[in-house]
A and B are shown apart, each in its own frame.
Chain A
């Protein structure tokens, strides 16, 4: 019964990582809920506070890569603290393997969800809302289900399961890392498609200017701040190009009217 309850909560929290307010899956909240389920709220809260600080101490890039694994991490850290009697800091360290496993599964789905993207494209062609809804929610449910199954499998023997996962990570973790690396590179396909559809061939300068600005801004600012700065620059550049085109058009039409022939050709 305990296993089913924990698996159900993991299922719901794993979905919260991507939908709604994305607040419940935060370690502080998630660990407290797991603590309550294991009848030890105080330990749950202490582990949650420790995990929250661990994740916040990661640098931004790592934080983003590893954030999807935080539900499994929270679940097993609390299980280890309550069932194996570890203190909060020790549990946070030992359960770290689940951050990697959860992250690997999330990135596996970054690649696997492309099947559903294809389904969404077909739904767009046929204006089929039901199919689009399925394409949107099915990967979410499947991913959460895998998280729930892992949690269910490890509830009764958390310590042994953690050791088994570490062995699995040593042998096959590189596959999950491969999916993580591929998942991190995949947006490039989306960017290339956008560039093609924007007919970027005649404006390569704008692309390289954007890249250079991002490099300069990214060297001193956080990546988010750099992206916001680049967006403002893009806005300014777009507005400048708009006014330039507007002036050219109006001066060309004024020229035509002045000559008198091309303006009234009929």
Chain B
């Protein structure tokens, strides 16, 4: 059986998590992105951070293994607001909702929290504090550096703490009323989760764009623009289709899928398809344009 798939044996609602456990999860959330990997993002750290709560919720050992297994699926916990998704996930786990409901809610909540948190920090808090603090620091004033560090650190800690408690309390309240109709909730959550995965396929693979130019009627045409004119996001969508086909139709292992993507990356870099800091050692026509 695939790790993290199946149904909980004990479906009785668990006791609410106490403050001590939530505080433990809050502290662990600072290490949630420690083992970031390409395939499942921050999943190992996410699972490790939630573990005190999961242990308290699932007294049945098989259920605990199942719960740990599905928490190892793709999740992004890089932003300080990721604790909001942790709170929501714990609330649903406590209600012993279907695994599909939990993984859908986790996917949507973590993507939303991560995006919103990243945007808040990288577009508002960091630039605003950097502009003032950098000019102070460039003039040799150490207060600029200290202020910059303090603003970012304090906001990061506060957001983590507040969002965990907010997500857990709101999630519990919502889950208590919604879980009375588990089938309807499962269908709704699945639709939201699958919709979000479609959006993430385009948005989260954004860093990779073909970076080559092709000659066309005495002018250079960007290959990326040509692809965009057919369908934006064609590369990630096509690659996802291939991986999906390999996993579900051909029953290939995850390792095979990873090796395929590694080969695509290496070949692309050797042929200079993706651009970047370093150029390919091969003297190919499109690299000299």
| Residue A3, interface by CB 8 Å | no
Given contact pairs A32-B145, A190-B40, A199-B190, A114 touches B258 in the complex (Cβ within 8 A): yes
Cβ–Cβ contact B44 & A19, under 8 A: no
* Complex CA–CA separation, A199 to B103 (angstroms): 12
| Residue B61, interface by CB 8 Å | yes
A224–chain B nearest beta-carbon distance, Å:
4
Interface pick from A77-85, A145-153, A166-174, A255-263: A166-174
Cβ–Cβ contact A174 & B148, under 8 A: no
B266–chain A nearest beta-carbon distance, Å:
4
* Complex CA–CA separation, A203 to B280 (angstroms): 42
| Residue B212, interface by CB 8 Å | no
* Complex CA–CA separation, A116 to B72 (angstroms): 12
Q: How large is the interface on A (under 10, 10 to 19, 20 to 34, 35 or more residues)?
A: 35 or more
| Residue B285, interface by CB 8 Å | no
**Residue of A29, A187, A231, A237 touching B115 (CB-CB under 8 A):** A231
* Complex CA–CA separation, A159 to B161 (angstroms): 44
**Residue of B37, B130, B184 touching A249 (CB-CB under 8 A):** B184
* Complex CA–CA separation, A235 to B51 (angstroms): 27
| Residue A233, interface by CB 8 Å | yes
Could you give, for residues 180-192 of chain A, a 1 whenever the CB lies within 8 Å of some chain B CB and a 0 otherwise? 1111111111111
| Residue B14, interface by CB 8 Å | no
* Complex CA–CA separation, A104 to B204 (angstroms): 19
Cβ–Cβ contact B73 & A193, under 8 A: yes
Cβ–Cβ contact A187 & B100, under 8 A: no
**Residue of A126, A228, A241 touching B65 (CB-CB under 8 A):** A126
Q: How large is the interface on B (under 10, 10 to 19, 20 to 34, 35 or more residues)?
A: 35 or more
Cβ–Cβ contact B201 & A191, under 8 A: yes
Could you give, for residues 108-149 of chain B, a 1 whenever the CB lies within 8 Å of some chain A CB and a 0 otherwise? 110110111011001100110010011101101110110011
Cβ–Cβ contact B203 & A230, under 8 A: yes
Cβ–Cβ contact A28 & B72, under 8 A: no
Cβ–Cβ contact B194 & A228, under 8 A: no
**Residue of A116, A180, A194 touching B73 (CB-CB under 8 A):** A194
Contacts of A181 in B (CB 8 A): 208, 264-266, 268-269, 274, 276
Cβ–Cβ contact A178 & B194, under 8 A: no
| Residue A97, interface by CB 8 Å | yes
Contacts of A20 in B (CB 8 A): 30-31
| Residue A53, interface by CB 8 Å | yes
Contacts of A140 in B (CB 8 A): 34-35
* Complex CA–CA separation, A62 to B122 (angstroms): 13
Cβ–Cβ contact A45 & B144, under 8 A: yes
* Complex CA–CA separation, A184 to B236 (angstroms): 10
| Residue A254, interface by CB 8 Å | no
| Residue A206, interface by CB 8 Å | yes
**Residue of B72, B122, B157 touching A224 (CB-CB under 8 A):** B122
* Complex CA–CA separation, A228 to B73 (angstroms): 21
Cβ–Cβ contact B183 & A245, under 8 A: yes
Given contact pairs A45-B138, A52-B130, A200-B197, A224 touches B153 in the complex (Cβ within 8 A): no
Cβ–Cβ contact B44 & A190, under 8 A: no
| Residue A23, interface by CB 8 Å | yes
**Residue of A66, A125, A209 touching B3 (CB-CB under 8 A):** A125
Could you give, for residues 184-200 of chain B, a 1 whenever the CB lies within 8 Å of some chain A CB and a 0 otherwise? 11011111111111111
List the B residue with the shortest CB-CB distance to A64.
Answer: B207
Interface pick from B16-24, B164-172, B214-222, B239-247: B239-247
Given contact pairs A49-B134, A199-B190, A231-B111, A191 touches B41 in the complex (Cβ within 8 A): no
List the A residue with the shortest CB-CB distance to B262.
Answer: A182
A128–chain B nearest beta-carbon distance, Å:
9
Kindly list 6 other residue pairs between chains A and B, CB separation below 8 angstroms, not including A45-B142, A231-B111. Answer: A29-B148, A53-B130, A100-B276, A117-B37, A132-B68, A211-B199
Can you list the 8 inter-chain pairs with the closest CB atoms, starting with the nearest?
A173-B278, A210-B198, A186-B38, A238-B192, A182-B265, A242-B188, A100-B277, A190-B74
Can you report 6 residue pairs joining A to B where beta carbons are below 8 Å apart?
A: A45-B142, A65-B207, A135-B44, A174-B278, A189-B39, A227-B199
- Name B's A-contacting residues (CB within 8 A): 2-5, 30-31, 33-41, 43-45, 47-48, 51, 61, 64-65, 68-74, 80, 99-100, 103-104, 107-109, 111-112, 114-116, 118-119, 122-123, 126-127, 130, 133-135, 137-138, 140-142, 144-145, 148-149, 152-153, 156-157, 178, 181, 183-185, 187-209, 232-233, 236-237, 239-240, 243-244, 247-248, 254, 257-258, 261-262, 264-270, 272, 274, 276-281
